[in-house]
Amino acid sequence: MNEVQLAANEALKPELGIASEVVLGLLLLALVYYVKVKLVRNTKDFVIANRKIGFGFGVAGLISIWTWAMAVMMSAAQTYSFGLSGLFWFTVPNGLAVIAAIPFVRKIRTLMPDGYTIPEFVKVRFDGNPVAGGVVVLGALFGSLIEVIINIKGTSLVISNVFGADPKLAAIIGLLVVLIYSILGGLWASVTTSALSTLLHTVPSAIILVAALHYAGGVNSVWHSVAAQGNDLLSVARPDAATGFGITLALGLLTATIAGQEFWQVAWALKKKDVSRSFFWAGAWFYPIPICLGLLGLIGLALHVNVNTQLGGDAAAVGPYLISHLGLPTWLIILYVIVILSACYSVIDSAFTATSSVFVVDIIKPLFPNISEKQLFFWAKIPMFFTAIIAAGVVLSGVDFVTIVLTSYAIRTAILIPLILALFWSRTTGWGFVGGTVLAIAIGMPIRSAAGELWGSLSILAISAVVPIIFGSVRNFQFDFERLRKIKDATVSSEAQPLPAD
Amino acid sequence: MPNIFVSLPTLAAIGVGIVIAFFYLRYMWLVLQRVSKTLDDPDDGKSDGFAHSFIGAIIAVIASSLAIIAYGFAPQFLYVGIALALASPIAVAYTFRRELDD
């Protein structure tokens, strides 16, 4: 493998990186313009796509919404760190998390066919308990904000590392691009651009990997170099991958789908007959993306890339580093950047839409129940704007956003089991829900910082399960799930508006 | 072979990719047009099927695990992931096609 020389591509100028962001943005904007003219007439179209998302857009949209920039880069990073065991523990729980959401989204769609958000469900389920509703609203907004921050950070890191562009400028341009098309089309924009992104995650990845393997000396050379290093790098049975990150990651992923507003809103936006099969096909056909891109981690191992001297101490950089240093033609490097950018954009737009639906349904509507459709449609766009400003502020100021990440993580993990109980166990009470969530955070987070992620997560899950069960067992309360079915559609306040094109 | 296309396998992947992208975008566009015409149609009332999804889920998890395990068997199996990445948009294009037929 010694004959492979890793060197930076001199043609990669900052302008090229910024241009990649803008060109991709313009392409998505053109699609969204059509969507806005043809499909977006009122608030219901904007926040829930009029519940008309079918099988195709459901599958394509979900795949891309689930493909974070992290999924693109971390599949290679975990393979590079743990060999095939890393790829196994990264990939298998990822697709499984989407598939595991099926019983829950199916249940919620049956129980509450006209729903929009998790907080809306929680408020009705617990007789308007303001604390339960408040905790879930906070969790949903924090969760979406953190998704925007992480993915915009991913955008700026890739553009600055590969092209040497100013990371702050790259972040602002990325945010602006997604904000503009999200404000134009809401959930329809998110789903249709995500469908296009799914194509960009798959075909280009395959082409890039064929070329990368060629430049790395071919499959024989790469495979034998990794095999010669021993250390079970070509086995999926290394226990340190499971204990090092696999189990914790699996729990986190399950939390992200089952308690994530981004997934619930798609469940409510899909045509009823397409809910289960869309989630299943999305989980199944998401798998090839990390399986393919994980090969970059094997190439990194084969070429003995050094994590400290060549990757700045961060294994996540192995993919971008190899692509920009293997000697690939510039157009292939740009294609790889577009794979990552499209992953970032599709997650950010779904997070924007999630903040919009929570804001409209759980804040504006309860405060101003007689608000006109026109005003509601206007207010649906405001939270996207504020989320973008806060995310830009966090990324530009360079503040450590670990606290936001931890808070968001804690709330979502703590909500998971109480939410499942609320869906399936009629004896779950509002105060059991609140007590379980709050105590799980209060006790579990210190355990997490003292004993590590695995024990912390398990503690949060255990406490959040035990407390609502105790509350529910003690009180003689039975919730009538039929009440959920009678909930009126929250955004329907007037007759449907005519098509803008008309 | 011009260096811009890297190698014959890369050129082949580009060719296959273009064909897949063409059909993917075509079906996506057709569905988009159909959605715009049927936006206010009432729900057809069909119920959501779960049994096939459950069996399929087990198969998907096993198949993806096998694909990763296969990487460790022999160098040629490294192409499995690339083939799957090309199969994924074909499957999604099929879902668009199914939506048109529904």
Per-10-residue mean pLDDT, chain A, length 502: 75 90 94 94 92 94 86 89 94 88 89 91 89 88 88 87 89 94 95 95 96 95 95 91 81 84 91 90 93 96 92 86 92 94 93 94 90 92 94 82 67 87 93 93 90 86 95 88 84 55 42
Whether residue A288 and residue B87 make contact (CB cut-off 8 A), yes or no, is yes
Please answer whether residues A338 and A261 qualify as being in contact, where contact means their C-beta atoms are separated by less than 8 angstroms.
no
Q: Which of A214, A218, A277 sits opposite B49 (nearest CB)?
A: A277
With contacts defined as CB-CB under 8 Å, which chain B residues touch A498? none
Residue (of A492, A447, A442, A484) closest to A464 by Cα position: A442
> Which residue in B has a C-alpha nearest to residue A36's C-alpha?
B36
Q: What is the pLDDT of residue B58?
A: 84
SS3 A270: strand
Residues 6 or more apart in contact with residue A363 via CB below 8 angstroms: A137
The angle subtended at Cα A176 by Cα A171 and Cα A179, nearest 5°, is 120
Q: What is the pLDDT of residue A499?
A: 47
- Is residue B8 in a domain? yes
Q: What is the pLDDT of residue A496?
A: 47
Residues 6 or more apart in contact with residue B51 via CB below 8 angstroms: none
With contacts defined as CB-CB under 8 Å, which chain A residues touch B96? 55-57, 60
Using CA atoms, how far residue A403 sits from A196, A294, A442, A445, A470, in Å, is 34, 30, 15, 12, 31
Please check whether residue A224 touches B, CB under 8 A.
yes
Whether residue A52 and residue B92 make contact (CB cut-off 8 A), yes or no, is no
- Is residue B66 in a domain? yes
Residue type, B29: W
Whether residue B85 and residue A291 make contact (CB cut-off 8 A), yes or no, is yes
Query: Domain residue spans in chain A?
Result: 14-400
Residues in chain B: 102
> Which residue in A has a C-alpha nearest to residue B93's C-alpha?
A56
Put simply, the chain A residues between 258 and 277 with a CB less than 8 A from any chain B CB are 271-277
Can you give the residue range of the structural domain that contains B7? 3-37+50-101
Put simply, the chain A residues between 46 and 105 with a CB less than 8 A from any chain B CB are 50-52, 54-60, 63, 84, 87-88, 91-92, 95-96, 99, 102-103
Residue B76: φ, ψ to 5° = -65, -25
- For the segment B42-58, the average pLDDT, to the nearest whole number, is 73
Q: What is the pLDDT of residue A262?
A: 87
Q: Which two tokens stand for residue A255?
A: 């939390």
- Is residue B43 in a domain? no
CA separation for the pair B77, A3 (Å, rounded): 24
Q: Which of A235, A273, A291 sits opposite B64 (nearest CB)?
A: A291
Whether residue B82 and residue A295 make contact (CB cut-off 8 A), yes or no, is yes
Residue (of A318, A222, A307, A89) closest to B71 by Cα position: A222
HSE-CB for B98 with a 13 A CA cutoff: 17
- Is residue B45 in a domain? no
Q: What pTM value is reported for the model?
A: 0.91
- Is residue B42 in a domain? no
With contacts defined as CB-CB under 8 Å, which chain A residues touch B82? 206, 209-210, 292, 295
Whether residue A39 and residue B102 make contact (CB cut-off 8 A), yes or no, is no
Mutate: best of B95, B100, B101, partner A, most A CBs <10 A: B95
Mean pLDDT for all residues in chain A: 89
Please check whether residue A390 touches B, CB under 8 A.
no
With contacts defined as CB-CB under 8 Å, which chain B residues touch A102? 50, 53-54, 57
Q: Which of B10, B21, B63 sits opposite A210 (nearest CB)?
A: B10
**How many Å from the N-terminal Cα to the C-terminal Cα in chain B?**
45
CA separation for the pair A36, A438 (Å, rounded): 41
Predicted complex ipTM exceeds 0.90: yes
With contacts defined as CB-CB under 8 Å, which chain A residues touch B44? 271, 273
**Interior/surface letters A166-178, b for 16+ CB within 10 angstroms, e for the rest:** bbebbbbbbbebb
CATH T-level fold of A14-400: Sodium/glucose cotransporter (1.20.1730)
Q: What is the pLDDT of residue A404?
A: 65
- Is residue B58 in a domain? yes
CA separation for the pair A199, A339 (Å, rounded): 9
SS3 A53: strand
CA separation for the pair A208, A292 (Å, rounded): 10
Whether residue A219 and residue B78 make contact (CB cut-off 8 A), yes or no, is yes
CA separation for the pair A428, A127 (Å, rounded): 12
Q: Which of B61, B83, B102 sits opposite A92 (nearest CB)?
A: B61
Q: What is the pLDDT of residue A451?
A: 86
Q: What is the pLDDT of residue A497?
A: 47
CA separation for the pair A78, A408 (Å, rounded): 24
With contacts defined as CB-CB under 8 Å, which chain A residues touch B6? 210-211, 214-215, 328-329, 332
CA separation for the pair A483, B66 (Å, rounded): 45
Please answer whether residues A39 and B33 qualify as being in contact, where contact means their C-beta atoms are separated by less than 8 angstroms.
no
Please check whether residue A332 touches B, CB under 8 A.
yes
> Sign of torsion, CA A42 A43 A46 A48?
negative
What total number of domains does chain B contain?
1
Whether residue B10 and residue A220 make contact (CB cut-off 8 A), yes or no, is no
- Is residue B44 in a domain? no
- Is residue B17 in a domain? yes
Residue (of A49, A93, A48, A56) closest to A75 by Cα position: A93
Q: Which of B32, B52, B82 sits opposite A210 (nearest CB)?
A: B82
